[in-house]
Amino acid sequence: MASSSSCGHNKSYKYNVFLSFSGEDTRKTFVDHLYAALDRQGIYTFKDDERLERGKGISDELLHAIEDSRFYIIVFSKRYASSSWCLNELLKIMECIKTNGHTAFPVFYDVEPSDVRKQTGSVGEALATHKNKSEVGKWREALKQAAGLSGLDVRNTANGHEAKVIELIVEWVSLKLRPFDMNVDENLIGMERRMQDLDAYLKVGLKDVRIVGIKGMGGAGKTTLARAIFDKISVNFEGKSFVEDVRDKASWLGLEKLQEQVLSDVLNDKSISISGVYDGKNLMRKRLLSKRVLVVLDDVDRRDQLEMLAGDPTWFKPGSRIIITTRDEEVLKEHNMKWIHDVSLLSEEEAIRLFSRHAFGKDVPTLAYEKHSREVIIYVAGLPLTIKVLGSKLCGKDDRQWAHTLERLKTIPLKETLENLELSYESLEDEHKEIFLDVACILRVWDKDTTIRILESCGYYAKHGLRVLEQKSLINLKDKYYIHMHDHIEELGKNIVRREHAYEPNKHSRLWVQVEIEQVMAANSVCKRTRCIDLRITPGIFLEGLGNMKKLTCLIVNNRRFKDSSAIDEACLHFPDSLRYLYWYKYPHWCLPKTFEANNLVAVDMSKSKIKQLWECWGKVMKKLKFLDLSKSKLRSLDLGLTPKLERLNLECCRDLVKVDVDGGCLKSLVYLNLDYCRGLKSVSFIEELESLEVLNIRGLGLREFPGCIVSGHSSNSLQVLDLSFNYLISEIPSSIGNLHNLVSLNLSFCESLKSLPGSICSLQHLTTLYLQFSGIEELPEELGQLECLEYLNLRSAKVKHLPNSICMLKRLKTLILINCTFLEKLPEDVGELESLEELNLYNCSNLREIPSSICKLKRLKELDLEACENIEKLPDELGNLGCLQWLHISGYIL
């Protein structure tokens, strides 16, 4: 292949690819398919379909298009050399690759490369038709040079299968374009070099499976490198997943949750649920073979994490890449990893550049501070995050402040790097310091929403405070679900809490070290400063000391690993009245302690507990309680009159629950109610009193009829999400459902007795998602097209025989799932009017006879599944017009 000059790397091109070809030979065949494949991959390609007649000069417009293209694909065919137009194109192309940093890729379609190089055979015969000897001489030289470039002979590649050849060409272009299209953050100094080093291990494009390890000390940039390479190469894979903080999440959430994340990400299926790690392992082994995947497992510290999340190469489809980051090389070696990359720290010059950008806003230090800058770099050991923080801290400071910082750095041993990050901590306001310490010591492993709830329960303005911490480079909030904090910053926070009284944990504001917690509890001493505890239940642990913690606001008790917690004496259990947030997984007693006043309690999470009712005798009103989660507990009855400010109530899978009481009009704040599978509940009439309810889940409740209280009660004007799925006996939806004017999502899946829907459902003008999978639905309302906002419709395994023609009026519909609709005989003729449709899944619609030609008008369609539709005799000829189509499955073949 022609090499690219340095100036070509910096030029911005109008086109990614210029196609040079003979229209007589290939315009409607090979080149047409190649152009469509490039376009589907998002590669902007110039293809000239309006050729001038032979003998006329090549246009200026075409010359400019050649100059403004990054790559050239030259398709040599039998008639290519007979066209002076093609030959003049070739002259211009060969001129550009010599001077402007372009790259040419020859494809020999139906000619031998040697015939092009030597101008023999059909190529020689074509050249003989030209009379101008001067031009022929130039053309011969251009043909010779082009044929000498690295290219591809169609007849001798992939056994001549053109579809596979085109796939290889597109893959080559994608890989070559990626480095030029990739915008690496300009502040990631040295990242390009590290990515190039890692490329040598990954070898993306080879058809083997590679599990590559990245090792190095904490703060060396392993995660940053993994993220950068993930962003760069993920376009080349069919599925991808980036799992951060495996070490922490595995110990807190369990490996099965991480297995769920990988499978959900890769398969784009959020419904995946795994009950145990070995079931998850078997499921991953089976399901990951279906796609060429890119998976990153960040911060692994145990071999069993790799065994359950990465297994061995046989788990994955050829071409897959798995990247592991760790501080412990032994973990990689125990897993028999062949490719291990040691990430290097920043060189002195790279560190100076990064520091200068944050301190002075340019790549080199200000002359007056050059010596000081280099002294700073000596003491931060090439750790990028430390350099960035120090540069920002010293920006605009005077000589005295620089000297103070340098003196401070000199007193910090390199083995304790990043204690200098306390400079950022000291600049925080008091409340933001407390939030930082809570996150660093206790909350780092929690998901973002729960962390915010805990902090808000403790009286903080959590969202604002977290944004401040992000601005100070102390945390990262870019992840949708988790808050990320660098290891060294976490160590900083823990050191701040412990250092004043290193050997007196009863004086610490936060307790998270199990041994220290047990010492404090055993001593039963008064803890005047302790405000947050994260403890594990262990055999023989004493909990009497909790009552002596008069400032305790947050109590987290994890009982996951200790099976027999019944030994905890209820009489010795005392919660201080200062408590605002209480989390106790598998709480062992049937009610809250009698001595607990709960005057300040804001949130309670006691999932999988043995609690049967909140209080033993008389009920204490919890005036500040907003969040109550008793899911999967032994709860039998609940009086919501005791929780007048409650906003969210989760009673999922409380199978013993028989009664919920609500004092008339007392519960005005509840917006979320989950009664999923509360099969023992005798009545849900109390819902009528919930005037602010927005989300209602009564899934699997065993209802025999639709609860009228939903549409007649106070909540009918506020309800946005209603889940009635798995209520097998509901046979009718009342016409009054049209009263739910603000409903956005309705789930009626697995309502097997439900045969039809009332026409009034079509008056739900805000409805965006409608789940009817595995229901007994046989027909849909003719007015369905009136659901103007509907974006998602799932009819999987429903018994519908036809779709109403009005469905074609759903201009916002993006997803239509008709999997296993074996009674469906045809699609509406105007299905092509669904202008927003991106996914159409007709898997195993075995009674479907034809696909309407109008389907070819679906310009936004990305996924089309026609597998197991064996009665479809012919597909529309214009199917190739679906320019956005990325995934087409027909009769077992994925195209």
Decide the pairing of beta strands 887-890 and 893-894: antiparallel
Closest CA to 793 of 770, 814, 773: 770
Inter-CA distances, 765 with 372, 738, 789, Å: 65, 9, 6
Question: Rounded CA gap, 570 and 560, in Å?
Answer: 19
Provide φ and ψ at 305, rounded to 5°.
-65, -40
Residues 6 or more apart whose CB falls under 8 angstroms from that of 135 comprise 84, 87
Distance of alpha carbon 218 from alpha carbon 486, whole angstroms = 8
**Full DSSP string of 728-741:** TT-----GGGGG-T
Q: Which two tokens stand for residue 128?
A: 């003989």
Torsion on CA atoms 317, 318, 320, 324, rounded to nearest 10: 90
- How far apart CA 800 and CA 785 sit, in angstroms, is 16
Residues 489, 418: Cα–Cα separation, whole Å: 7
Buried b or exposed e, range 510-528, using 16+ CB within 10 angstroms? bbbbeebbbbbbeebbebe
Q: Would residue 89 show up in a list of annotated catalytic residues for this protein? A: yes
- What is the C-alpha to C-alpha distance for residues 777 and 818, in angstroms, rounded to an integer? 12
What one-character DSSP code corresponds to residue 373? H
Backbone phi and psi for residue 303, each to the nearest 5 degrees, phi listed first: -65, -35
Residue 789's closest CA among 817, 816, 770?
Answer: 770
Query: Distances in Å between the alpha carbon of 18 and those of 34, 91, 173, 455, 808?
Result: 12, 14, 12, 57, 38
- Closest to 563 measured CA to CA, from 539, 544, 582, 534: 539
184: which 2 tokens?
Answer: 């690496």
The DSSP annotation for 430-488 comes to: HHHHHHHHHIIIIITTSBHHHHHHHHHHTT--HHHHHHHHHHTTS-B--SSSB-B--HH
What single-letter DSSP state applies at residue 763? G
Residue of 67, 89, 260, 350 marked catalytic: 89
CB atoms within 10 A of CB 125: 14
For residue 422, give Cα distances in angstroms to 468, 488, 493, 498: 15, 11, 9, 14
Give the end-to-end CA distance of the chain in Å, rounded to a whole number: 28
CB atoms inside a 10 Å sphere around CB 547: 19
Yes or no: say if 735 and 760 are a contact pair by the CB < 8 Å rule.
Answer: yes
Q: Read out DSSP for 584-619?
A: ETT--SSS--TT---SS--EEE-TT---SSS-SSSP
- Angle of the 487-498 helix axis to the 430-438 helix axis, nearest 10: 110
Residues 696 and 718: beta-carbon distance below 8 Å: no
Q: Which two tokens stand for residue 593?
A: 């302690």
DSSP string covering 838-864? -EEE-TT-TT-----GGGGG-TT--EE
Strand partners, 826: 802
**Which amino acid appears at position 220 of this protein?**
A
Cite the active site residues.
89
